[in-house]
C-alpha cells in the first residue's frame, strides 16, 4: 500500500492569478506552492500484512511517501488511498516452488503448476542460481538482455502479457464530500462524448485505472470485481481497459458503477491497433455515460477536490 501524506494550501489562499488553489495531491511540489509537512497519518483500521517503512520511505518537497504494507489496503484520515490489483494466475501451491529442489520434488499435474514450474526453471537458468532471490531479480531486471530472457522464460505460461497488467483504484481514504469535474480541451472536436454530460460535475472522488488488463476473460473479471467490491460506487472516472480494445472490454463493469461515472482513454489517431473499438464506445455511450478520448489534439482534464 502506498500512502501519500501531506497537505494543501491554507483555506482561502489564492495563487498569483487570484484563483482558488488546487486541493491536496493534484499539484505536486515545484510549482510555487507550499505543502505543509506536519500532517500525520491517522490509521482508521488495522493495516493487513507486515508494517515496514525502514527503507521504503522517501520525501519529495513537502509530500512524503511511505510503503505501509506489501499487500491489501490502508485507510488514513484526510488522505488519499491507493488500492492495487494484479490478476493471480497461479494457485497457492506454487508459492513454495522457488528452488530447483522443490520443483524436482513436486509431482503435481495441475496445468497451472506445470506452467509455473516451467517459468521458474527458466528464470533460475537465467539467474544461474538454484533459488529465486527476489532482491537479485530486482537488481538484474535493470539489464535489457535479462528482461528479454525473462520474457522468453514466461512464454510457456501464456503469450498474453496483458494478463499481468496492474490496475489501481485511488481516491479519498474516508467518506468525504468530494466533487469531480472532467473536461476535454479539444482543438479538432474529434473526441467522443456521451449525451449532455461533457464537462460534467461528478459527486464522487475515486479513479479506477485498468491498464491493459484483459477484463473480457471471466476469471480475470471475477477476481477484479471481488477485489474492488465496495469501491465501484465511489468511482468518478474509469480508464477504459487497453485503450478501448474490444479484446479487453467487459460490459459487466457498467452496472457496478454510478450512472454519472465517466470513462476516458488514450489512443493515437489512426493507430494500427484499431484503438479504441467503436463497439466499446457504443456500449459505454448507450449506457448514458460520457466517454472521453485523449489524443494528439485533445487533452482530457480531470479535477477532484473536497467540497
Provide the 10 A C-beta neighbour count for residue 101. Answer: 10
* 229-256: average pLDDT: 92
Average pLDDT of the chain to the nearest whole number: 70
**What's the pLDDT at 160?**
65
**What b/e readout covers 268-293, taking b as 16+ CB neighbours within 10 angstroms?**
eeeeeeebbbeebbebbbebebbbbb
**What's the pLDDT at 306?**
64
Q: Is the pLDDT of residue 49 over 60?
A: no
Tell me how far CA of residue 13 lies from CA of 6, 18, 20, 72, 274, in angstroms.
17, 9, 7, 36, 46
Q: Is the CB of residue 85 less than 8 Å from the CB of residue 228?
A: yes
SS3 135: helix
The single residue listed with the C-alpha cell 484563483 is 19
Per residue in 155-168, pLDDT (tens digit) is 766 656 677 789 99
The DSSP H or E segment spanning 302 is strand 298-306
Q: Is the pLDDT of residue 298 over 90?
A: no
**What's the pLDDT at 208?**
95
The DSSP H or E segment spanning 266 is strand 262-266
**What's the pLDDT at 252?**
96
Rounded Cα distance, 101 and 162, in Å: 31
Residue 134 phi, psi (nearest 5): -55, -40
* 207-212: average pLDDT: 92
* 21-33: average pLDDT: 34
Q: Which residues contact 188 (CB under 8 A, 6 or more apart)?
A: 297, 298
Cα-trace Rg, the chain: 22
β-bridge pairing 63-67 and 2-5: antiparallel
Q: Is the pLDDT of residue 41 over 50?
A: no
Per residue in 243-294, pLDDT (tens digit) is 999 999 999 999 999 888 889 888 888 888 888 998 999 999 899 888 888 8
Angle between helix 144-154 and helix 111-127 axes, rounded to 10 deg:
160
Q: Which residues contact 254 (CB under 8 A, 6 or more apart)?
A: 283, 284, 287, 289
Amino acid at each position: 500500500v502506498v500512502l501519500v501524506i501531506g497537505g494543501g494550501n491554507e483555506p482561502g489562499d489564492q495563487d498569483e492569478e487570484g484563483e482558488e488553489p488546487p486541493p491536496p495531491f493534484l499539484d505536486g511540489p515545484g510549482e510555487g506552492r507550499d505543502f505543509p509537512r506536519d500532517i500525520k497519518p491517522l490509521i482508521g483500521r488495522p493495516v493487513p500484512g507486515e508494517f515496514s517503512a525502514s527503507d521504503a520511505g522517501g520525501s519529495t518537497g513537502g509530500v512524503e511517501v511511505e510503503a505501509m504494507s506489501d499487500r491489501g489496503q490502508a485507510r488514513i484520515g484526510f488522505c488519499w488511498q491507493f488500492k492495487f490489483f494484479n490478476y493471480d494466475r497461479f494457485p497457492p501451491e506454487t508459492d513454495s516452488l522457488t528452488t530447483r529442489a522443490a520443483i524436482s520434488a513436486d509431482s503435481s499435474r495441475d496445468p497451472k503448476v506445470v506452467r509455473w514450474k516451467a517459468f521458474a526453471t527458466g528464470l533460475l537458468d537465467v539467474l544461474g542460481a538454484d533459488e529465486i532471490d527476489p532482491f537479485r531479480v530486482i537488481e538484474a531486471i535493470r539489464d535489457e538482455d535479462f528482461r528479454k530472457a525473462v520474457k522468453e522464460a514466461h512464454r510457456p505460461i501464456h503469450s498474453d502479457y496483458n494478463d499481468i497488467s496492474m490496475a489501481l483504484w485511488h481516491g479519498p481514504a474516508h467518506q468525504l464530500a468530494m466533487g469531480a469535474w472532467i473536461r476535454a480541451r479539444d482543438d479538432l472536436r474529434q473526441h467522443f462524448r456521451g449525451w449532455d454530460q461533457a464537462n460534467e460535475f461528478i459527486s464522487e472522488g475515486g479513479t479506477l485505472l485498468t491498464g491493459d488488463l484483459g477484463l473480457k476473460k471471466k476469471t480475470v473479471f471475477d477476481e477484479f470485481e471481488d477485489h474492488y467490491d465496495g469501491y465501484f460506487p465511489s468511482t468518478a472516472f474509469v480508464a477504459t481497459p487497453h485503450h478501448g480494445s474490444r479484446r479487453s472490454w467487459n460490459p459487466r463493469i457498467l452496472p457496478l458503477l454510478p450512472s454519472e461515472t465517466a470513462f476516458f482513454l488514450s489512443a493515437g489517431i489512426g493507430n494500427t491497433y484499431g484503438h479504441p473499438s467503436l463497439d466499446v464506445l457504443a456500449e459505454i455511450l448507450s449506457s448514458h455515460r460520457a466517454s472521453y478520448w485523449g489524443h494528439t489534439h485533445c487533452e482530457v482534464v480531470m479535477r477532484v477536490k473536497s467540497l
